[in-house]
């Protein structure tokens, strides 16, 4: 398949400014960095590999991401907005644990990868009823989340809002996971200045922010409490008691 040049990094300090290319092949749509030290292609994969393994053996509602979003409580299946969908990994995990998830992604290239991954998963779901059930709980929107939140009426407010903004890597780019390198190149760092207050104004029960474990809190906004893992921390901003 021919390569289609789609983007080159602009205004991104401290990263190599390599060209990025979208590739369509038998594995679906992927984003590939060009150049001699380029990492492998990035694509969304929900039906197989790591996503499947995590779905089946990842610890279910005992995982920190579940406890943080209220899914740790048996029977609570929140309506959840993922305002920084990216490649949809977290959103997919949350849907697999029972949440009704709307994933919002503003970058059209990342969104195309996400949509392609979900579409390929839907093909596989014909022989995998639990996967089909999860996919029925997922919606996607390609829009800026601040704008999206403004369209919601009171009745449409989500129970939980989830944020996973891009952070500055602590290590040199060659050591950072390939997705992170490409994300940094494509979208830079996320400016969540408007997103956090907008989220706090629209969630019914809580806002959850995923952060690297030692990172400062977002916008200087102290959470009610945090759940800390080895490399990741979930900061929880409770707004009212879960039902």
Interface ranges with ligand SAM (CB under 6 A)? 83-84, 86-90, 104-107, 110, 144-146, 164-166, 183, 187, 190, 195
Q: 36 or 41: whose CB is closer to ligand SAM?
A: 41
Indicate the residue whose CB is closest to ligand SAM: 86
Shortest spacing between CB 202 and ligand SAM, in angstroms: 13
Distance CA 39, CA 27 (A): 17
Shortest spacing between CB 224 and ligand SAM, in angstroms: 21
Question: Which residue from 107, 65, 105, 101 is spatially nearest to 85, judged by alpha carbons?
Answer: 105
Q: 13 or 129: whose CB is closer to ligand SAM?
A: 13
Shortest spacing between CB 150 and ligand SAM, in angstroms: 12
Shortest spacing between CB 187 and ligand SAM, in angstroms: 4
Q: 97 or 110: whose CB is closer to ligand SAM?
A: 110
Residue with tokens 């200045």: 193
Q: What are the strands, taking DSSP E only, across the chain?
A: 4-8, 19-25, 28-33, 79-82, 100-105, 138-142, 160-163, 206-212, 225-228, 232-238
Distance CA 20, CA 9 (A): 8
């Amino acid at each position: 398949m021919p390569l289609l040049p789609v983007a080159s990094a602009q205004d991104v300090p401290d990263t190599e400014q390599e060209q990025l290319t979208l590739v369509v092949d038998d594995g679906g749509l992927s984003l590939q960095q060009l150049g001699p030290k380029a990492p492998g292609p990035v694509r969304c994969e929900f039906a197989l590999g790591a996503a499947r393994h995590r779905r089946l053996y990842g610890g279910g509602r005992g995982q920190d991401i579940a406890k943080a979003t209220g899914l740790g409580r048996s029977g609570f299946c929140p309506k959840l907005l993922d305002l920084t969908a990216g490649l949809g990994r977290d959103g997919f995990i949350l849907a697999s644990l029972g949440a009704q998830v709307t994933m919002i992604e503003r970058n059209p290239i990342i969104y195309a990868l996400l949509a392609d991954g979900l579409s390929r998963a839907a093909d596989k779901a014909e022989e995998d009823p639990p996967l089909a059930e999860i996919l029925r709980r997922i919606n996607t929107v390609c829009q800026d989340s601040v704008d999206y939140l403004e369209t919601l009426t009171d009745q449409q407010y989500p129970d939980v809002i989830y944020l996973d903004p891009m952070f500055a890597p602590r290590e040199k780019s060659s050591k950072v996971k390939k997705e992170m390198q490409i994300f940094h190149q494509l979208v830079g760092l996320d400016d969540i200045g408007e997103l956090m207050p907008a989220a706090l104004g629209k969630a019914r029960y809580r806002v959850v922010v995923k952060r690297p474990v030692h990172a400062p809190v977002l916008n200087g906004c102290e959470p009610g409490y945090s759940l800390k893992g080895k490399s990741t921390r979930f900061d929880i901003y409770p707004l009212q008691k879960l039902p």
